[in-house]
A and B are shown apart, each in its own frame.
Chain A
């Protein structure tokens, strides 16, 4: 075995070692640089508010509904479906009162609204303190109820951490991460 062949082989080995490293980096490239496909629907769900709140919000909410409403609507503990006719004292709007998207408004969907970092959520909140599936608002007996979905940093209703599904009175601050919102009629 000549020295030259050995030299070529050992440099070839180093090259292959790096090819292996870069093969892995290439395979997880979209982890490092973001995904085109995900970015597109992420953008749609993440910022429905500033441009056209009325048109985009129901789309996002519908996505959320298809993901998680099924169990609730069939659960026997749920009161008879209220359909699209909430009572006079039922909140219809969600207003963000502080946080990065302060001032934006969202029409509440028919039955429930998922909140979290996931782009499937009806209300997408992306900050360091929000879990992927953080909480949800559900309509029980014409009353919106907030349920914390075992989030890391908690959901706070009027400063109190929510552990059980708790009714949300009108104009009461609900805090998730750095975002606070209120339900309004």
Chain B
């Protein structure tokens, strides 16, 4: 024992001077830029809350010609919770991205306003009103997200539980099999009268698993087997994982009769493997597999075939009048056409003609009442949100966080594309929810947790590397 070890800190100094130095340097950075990003977030968040309340007020004015102050409490409650989130961010993640929370809040608020507009048209009152339920679900989702934000100070911990995440994801996917299908798709769990779509949460678990798995497997998956023209194909023995994911995706398609979920999971895996290995051949291979599988399914499975026919032949009279035909999608298109460039105005259209306008068809409802201009603003908000997520992934410090950031933000992008593409007849209509806008608790919970994870990831990025564009 020499004199240098006489202090209590001696041993730790001897083993980890690097760590202590890293620690102090990060403190220095924190002090230099106290809460600059949060000070950018606050005005944007207040703006977002104002827009949510304004949308609700316009719905009231347009549909009823008068204010119902009670209804304005719904977006106000959402805004209050968002402000709580802002304070939590100030305390636990001052370096987090300043744009995600305002964007998610405004999308959620516009969704509540439009759902409330459909409530007025039906009419659904009191606790029957879907907008009230949506606010309750938003509150639950945001509180869960804040718990995730405060509990997971280090996302990297999640990579240790990648196989647990895999089993959780698969279990969540299989869970609805034990319950009876709703609207033909077996993706629901009904407990005590509350319907829940566990597949929504499965996408987070699977993104965690894919990220953890690909970090360890990327090297072998990047090895080039055979060249075919400009593409470098992987070795046959490395095809195992993609085939397994393909089988799972096809299983979801065949057994649960849910094309959208199947496409979402497979697309997520493809993008993450592409980001991990930088080999375009994986994408080509995967797209070929999926399109091949989907084409075979469309020929053999009545349900998938029906979706394809309603997509390609939507305007034929036979399809329009058929049971489970194209009535819904065509009415949505009529609504969009009626909205035109600037829309009919919130509360002044007839979005309620479309069946289930508040969940699957919230985009045509908004398109009808806000017009092309409003719809593009909403799509622009999604674009900004996804671009922030991809940037968080791009700038991340560790491979797991980078892959997870890319995967989570891509899930939002792909889901938005599948929904908007479905209702505008770009791709066959599938039963997915529009993130943050559509009525549905499970979707809100999943997407708010995704936002929380992205916020946590962005806080871990050193400020020198993550200026946030705010200099």
**Contact assessment for A30 and B467 in the assembled complex, using a CB-CB cutoff below 8 Å:** yes
Q: A37 interface residue, CB < 8 Å from B?
A: yes
- Which residue of the partner chain, among A6, A24, A29, contacts B103 with CB atoms under 8 Å? A24
**Contact assessment for A27 and B21 in the assembled complex, using a CB-CB cutoff below 8 Å:** no
**Contact assessment for A27 and B342 in the assembled complex, using a CB-CB cutoff below 8 Å:** no
Q: B346 interface residue, CB < 8 Å from A?
A: yes
**Contact assessment for A70 and B21 in the assembled complex, using a CB-CB cutoff below 8 Å:** yes
**Contact assessment for B346 and A30 in the assembled complex, using a CB-CB cutoff below 8 Å:** no
**Contact assessment for B17 and A75 in the assembled complex, using a CB-CB cutoff below 8 Å:** yes
User: What is the predominant secondary structure among interface residues of chain B facing chain A?
Assistant: helix
Min Cβ gap B197→A in Å is 29
- Which residue of the partner chain, among A7, A11, A67, A74, contacts B17 with CB atoms under 8 Å? A74
**Contact assessment for A17 and B374 in the assembled complex, using a CB-CB cutoff below 8 Å:** yes
List residues of B (59-107) whose CB comes within 8 Å of A's CBs.
61-62, 65-66, 98-99, 102-103, 106
For B51, list chain A residues within 8 Å (CB): 13, 16-17, 20
Q: B18 interface residue, CB < 8 Å from A?
A: yes
Q: How many A-B residue pairs have CB under 8 A?
A: 111
Task: Name which residue of chain A comes closest to B369, CB basis.
Answer: A10
For A17, list chain B residues within 8 Å (CB): 51, 370, 374, 377-378
Min Cβ gap B387→A in Å is 9
For B348, list chain A residues within 8 Å (CB): 6, 10
| B interface size (C-beta, 8 A) | 51
- Which residue of the partner chain, among B61, B66, B102, B467, contacts A35 with CB atoms under 8 Å? B467
**Contact assessment for B371 and A14 in the assembled complex, using a CB-CB cutoff below 8 Å:** yes
A23 touching B44 in the complex, CB below 8 Å, given contacts A10-B58, A18-B373: yes
Chain B: residues with CB nearer than 8 A to chain A?
14, 17-18, 20-22, 25, 40, 44, 47-48, 50-51, 54-55, 58, 61-62, 65-66, 98-99, 102-103, 106, 342-343, 345-346, 348, 370-371, 373-374, 377-378, 380-381, 384, 388, 391, 397-399, 464-465, 467-471
18 cross-chain CB contacts under 8 A:
A6-B345, A6-B348, A7-B345, A13-B346, A17-B374, A17-B378, A20-B48, A20-B377, A20-B381, A27-B44, A27-B470, A28-B470, A30-B467, A30-B470, A38-B471, A71-B18, A71-B20, A75-B17
Given contacts A9-B58, A10-B345, A20-B51, 19 further A-B contacts (CB under 8 A): A1-B61, A1-B66, A9-B61, A10-B346, A14-B373, A16-B54, A17-B378, A20-B102, A21-B380, A21-B381, A27-B469, A32-B469, A35-B469, A70-B17, A70-B21, A71-B21, A75-B17, A118-B464, A152-B399
